[in-house]
Amino acid sequence: PDNSIDFAFTDPPYNLGKKYLGYSDDLDVKEYFNWCDQWLAEMARVLKPGRTCAILNIPLWAIRHFLFMETILEFQNW
């Protein structure tokens, strides 16, 4: 449900061409960010206001994730 969890953490595939069972880790960058934006928005939807969302990724992608998340969540700190 919306606003139902206190802490959301993810360490998604980084789109670096690694071998995963049932997942392609070499998407076009636009397709990768579209996929990421979908699960990031879902994490934001279920997170209670004022709670914590932690996302691991390589620095280049982390910055892009931050820019998207900043539009839907209140930023507290790195």
Q: Which long-range contacts (CB under 8 A, 24 or more apart) does 27-32 make?
A: none
| 7: β partners | 52
Query: Does residue 24 surpass a pLDDT of 90?
Result: no
25-48 pLDDT tens trace: 999 999 999 999 999 999 999 999
The reported pLDDT for the residue numbered 27 is 95
**Does pTM surpass 0.85?**
yes
Q: What percent of the chain has pLDDT above 90?
A: 86
What DSSP letter does each residue of the chain carry, written as one string? -TT-EEEEEE----SS--EETTEES---HHHHHHHHHHHHHHHHHHEEEEEEEEE---HHHHHHHHHHHTTTS-----
